[in-house]
Amino acid sequence: MLQILYSGATDVCFELKNDAPYYAPEAFEVFLDGEKQFDCNTNVFSLFGLQPEGEYTLELRGAAIAETLRFRTKGECCAVDVRDFGAVGDGVHDDTVAIQTAISYLPAGGRLFFPAGQYLTKPLVLKSHMTLELSADAVLLGWPERKDWPIVPGVLNALDGSELYFGGFEGQAMSMYESLLTAQYAENIAIVGPGRVDGNAQNSDFWINFKEFPAARPRLMFFNRCKNVTVHGVHACNSPSWQLHPHYCEQVGLYDVFVSAPKNSPNTDAMDPESCDGVEIIGCRFSVGDDCIAIKSGKIELGKKLNRPADHHTIRNCLMDFGHGAVTLGSEIGAGVRNLSVTQCWFRGTDRGLRIKSRRGRGENCLLDQISFDNIRMEGVLTPIAVNLWYNCCDPDRYSEYVWSREKLPVDDRTPRMGRFRFHKLVCTDAQVAACYIDGLPEAPIEEVVFDDVSISFADDAKPGIPIMENFAKERCRLGLYLDNVRRIRIHGVSLKGVEGKKLLADHYESLETTDFSED
């Protein structure tokens, strides 16, 4: 029942293997070498403050659980206290130079340790083969003055004529303010510990009139073209824009991380892996001002030029407390998304649960296929399932007839494609707007949508709202299953409660199969 998700020199993340979304079937006690550490009620939990190359015995004790696991932490070449390089950590002094010097001097395979304190800093650049550890009550605090954040180019021409990509935002290469923590073309980086990385944007102007800035806003953590990146245990919060942004990376792990921002903070997505291969997001909790997880692969220009799809992503045992979408694909998915598994997650109070957004103009490489959503619990989610091929945000032509026309337009190199989607074992209570709103393109219908063992009920006091962001959107309330322009629809074991009107509204399909489809 117990497995190790990640092991460092001083920290280990564990996962209980069961079918319960996010929370363990029962609470239990965690013991290390016979000494109680804490009580736990989640499937994923962590230990910190261990010794490198230490051998330990982990025990879980509960009314119906008794697990024992022997494990050994990894080794390291050295560990360095950031204060030895002059960092003060009082939240007043500028610790940028001290921290950056410590990073530069740290030997490969070393760990840079931050004891308790507030380390006020401007943007920092990480390097390969290092671990940054934030102890309990250690805070890496972003500098509040935007004028002191450097602007870096999105793409440069090297002396040999080749292009070097350094940054971007919303699916395009563009100049951007350097992020609080950045790694470029690096490998084997870990950011770990129970401490906090705080962008401090609430005390800056990054959330005010940001469309007038000379460059895109920074992320909290930005990893560009990196390999083997791990973020474990930290609390990431209050980013100027997206919080964690792996960009064209390979093998990225996010384990037992809490990401937060105020509900009204603009574009503060929690985790936006873009054109990455091999991403694990496990045991994390999110509550932000935009999408909790938004999987991306660039707009049409980069989708054609680089053609790097988002591939092999696993999202498991996560809790989404608030956000526009709990798990979102898009809208910048010009190279497509494939091989995505979302399972054992719990969504509470998000606007939409499973959210897919694209539009004409994302391009022919925008193929979404082999997408599976399984064993998910939703509470108070306004629209549990939203698949939108008419998304009208973030582009200059968002209001054009090309985007909104319901006519069957010619299929060309701008036309996105949607493959197969499976929604299995979903339990959704207190929905309000629509149980499901799936709206495909007439010239390129979604290939297949399968509902299997799905239960959706509406709140007694449900209020109307907009199910998807499109031009000429109409408010809905207690709408059942709405599907348009889907070739094959399969509905098995679906229960709807509290629907106003017909439980199924389907149009422009080739085949429709329903079995055990009831309305209480």
**What's CA 45's distance to the chain center, in Å?**
19
> Would residue 290 show up in a list of annotated catalytic residues for this protein?
yes
| Alpha helices (runs of H) in 356-434, residue ranges in sequence order | 401-404
> Residue 106: what residue type?
L
> Would residue 129 show up in a list of annotated catalytic residues for this protein?
no
State how far the alpha carbon of 194 is from the alpha carbons of 49, 63, 286, in Å: 9, 28, 16
Cβ-contact 429, 378 below 8 angstroms: yes
- Of 171, 166, 174, 175, which Cα lies nearest the Cα of 334? 171
Structure tokens at 127: 């390097």
How many Å is the Cα radius of gyration of the chain? 23
Angle (CA) 280-277-319 rounded to 5° is 25
Phi, psi at residue 246, to the nearest 5°?
-75, 130
Tell me which of 198, 272, 324, 430 is the catalytic residue.
324
Q: Which residues contact 160 (CB under 8 A, 6 or more apart)?
A: none
Residue with tokens 């980013």: 239
Cβ-contact 366, 391 below 8 angstroms: no
Cα 451 from Cα 425, distance rounded (Å): 9
Residue with tokens 């897919």: 356
Cα 447 from Cα 489, distance rounded (Å): 9
- Of 148, 80, 91, which Cα lies nearest the Cα of 119? 91
> Residue 372: what residue type?
S
Cα 244 from Cα 246, distance rounded (Å): 7
Tell me which of 256, 269, 277, 290 is the catalytic residue.
290
Structure tokens at 398: 């968002």
Show which residues are catalytic.
Answer: 290, 324
